[in-house]
Amino acid sequence: VKEADFRPADILARYLALCREDAAAVLRREAEFVTVPCPGCGAEASEPAFTKNGYHYHTCAACQSLYLRQRPTTEVLAEVNNGAASAAYWADCFYPNVIERRRESVYRTRALYAQQLQQQYGQTFRRLLDVGAGCGIYAEELRRAMPAVDIAVVEPGPRFAATCREKGFETHMCLLEELPADVPPACYGSCFEVLEHLYSPLAFLQVMARALRPGGVVFLTSLCCDGFDVQALWERHPNIYPPQHINILSLAGYRQLFERAGFTDIRLTTPGKLDVDIVRNHLPAADQPRVLRHLLQGGDETFLRDFQLFLAEHRRSSHVWITASRGAA
């Protein structure tokens, strides 16, 4: 699997260029930024990691999570993002370009995984809630995998929400925090590639827990700093960009985050497929330490594929899946 299959290089480059412009606009309001403890374990102590586009990332002294220590509030981010060129480009160009090519390889796989979670957690899902549903592609795959089950989606974007409605889903056009109290709790909640963006992942997970029935199961995906590509590329990683991707937690950080939010039976896997390709694409051979150059340039395709499988199997990929239970009543 190649990085370009997921994110065409030219579209990604244009999007990241727009993000840098927005990052500069947000940075002009640095006086309003707030200093936060580790978003994973909550520890205050940290070490500077690197500065990227003027933003200071730190490493937690306790759990080694990588995070933006001084960060814009949700309100500042919303004000800048409202009408920002990067947000429009993402919705109009980036998302439509990549979403359908991810349907089978990403969303169908995750829907089948949701189905399997019933057995793993000893639950029978009757109602599902997908948060940040976009145009409803995952909800469609859930419906395909579990046709008899009620599916609700939360999607704040008006156009995406309208698309979800057209597809016949119970659609709540709001943020999860704004979900009306009379919406029935779900047996299963999913939310993909959102935790890394949030001012407070803990507050979000606490709201997620309240949207679930006792014993309900969550399935989230995000970025993990224990991943091979994050460790190899560090500040040069294309997927670490402020102020969007500001929580890149360690496995230990994720575990403590979910515990703090009241979840139990927390399971972490890293089934990522792109780490090796990302390192090859974004770290020129001349800049690679000798051992890395030896591994990545000297290896044939079979070696590289097996190396990626090894990373995923040993939880050293940067793409993390987290499942957990809200706990029985």
Work out which of 18, 19, 36, 41 binds Zn ion, going by CB under 5 A.
41
Shortest approach of Zn ion to residue 327 CB, angstroms? 23
**65 forms part of the interface with Zn ion (CB under 5 A):** yes
Q: Which stretch binds Zn ion (CB under 5 A): 38-46, 78-86, 127-135, 139-147?
A: 38-46
Work out which of 26, 38, 179, 212 binds Zn ion, going by CB under 5 A.
38
Assess contact for 186 and 152: CB atoms under 8 A: yes
Which is nearest to 232 in space by CA: 321, 318, 320, 322? 318
Retrieve residue 50's tokens: 């690197």
**62 forms part of the interface with Zn ion (CB under 5 A):** yes
**In degrees, to the nearest 5, what angle opens at C-alpha 261 toward C-alphas 259 and 267?**
45
**10 vs 47, which CB is nearer to Zn ion?**
47
Which is nearest to 229 in space by CA: 310, 152, 319? 319
**36 vs 135, which CB is nearer to Zn ion?**
36
Which is nearest to 160 in space by CA: 140, 135, 185? 135
Shortest approach of Zn ion to residue 217 CB, angstroms? 25
Q: Which stretch binds Zn ion (CB under 5 A): 41-49, 139-147, 219-227, 237-245?
A: 41-49
Give me the 68-97 binding string for Zn ion, x by CB under 5 A, dash otherwise: ------------------------------
**63 forms part of the interface with Zn ion (CB under 5 A):** yes
Shortest approach of Zn ion to residue 58 CB, angstroms? 10
| CB within 8 Å of 216: residues ≥ 6 apart | 123, 185, 186, 187, 188, 189, 325, 326
Work out which of 60, 154, 198, 248 binds Zn ion, going by CB under 5 A.
60
**60 vs 218, which CB is nearer to Zn ion?**
60
Q: Which stretch binds Zn ion (CB under 5 A): 43-51, 154-162, 269-277, 295-303?
A: 43-51
Work out which of 19, 40, 131, 257 binds Zn ion, going by CB under 5 A.
40
**63 vs 179, which CB is nearer to Zn ion?**
63
**Omega before 48 within 30 of 0, i.e. cis:** no
Shortest approach of Zn ion to residue 325 CB, angstroms? 23
**197 vs 260, which CB is nearer to Zn ion?**
260
Question: How far is it, in rounded angstroms, from Cα 224 to Cα 247?
Answer: 9
**259 vs 313, which CB is nearer to Zn ion?**
259
Which is nearest to 62 in space by CA: 325, 255, 286, 284? 255
CA atoms within 13 A on the CB side of 88: 7
Shortest approach of Zn ion to residue 252 CB, angstroms? 7
**41 vs 146, which CB is nearer to Zn ion?**
41
Q: Strand pairing of 186-192 and 247-248? A: unpaired
**43 forms part of the interface with Zn ion (CB under 5 A):** yes
**232-261 positions binding Zn ion, by CB under 5 A:** 253
**134 vs 253, which CB is nearer to Zn ion?**
253
Q: Is 254 left (phi over 0), alpha (psi -120 to 50) or beta?
A: alpha
**132 vs 253, which CB is nearer to Zn ion?**
253
Task: Report how far Cα 328 is from the mean position of its chain's Cα atoms.
Answer: 26
Residue-by-residue DSSP string for 100-113: GGGIIIIIIHHHHH
In this structure, what are the phi and psi dihedrals at residue 224, rounded to the nearest 5 degrees?
-130, 130
Interaction site with Zn ion (CB under 5 A): 38, 40-41, 43, 60, 62-63, 65, 253
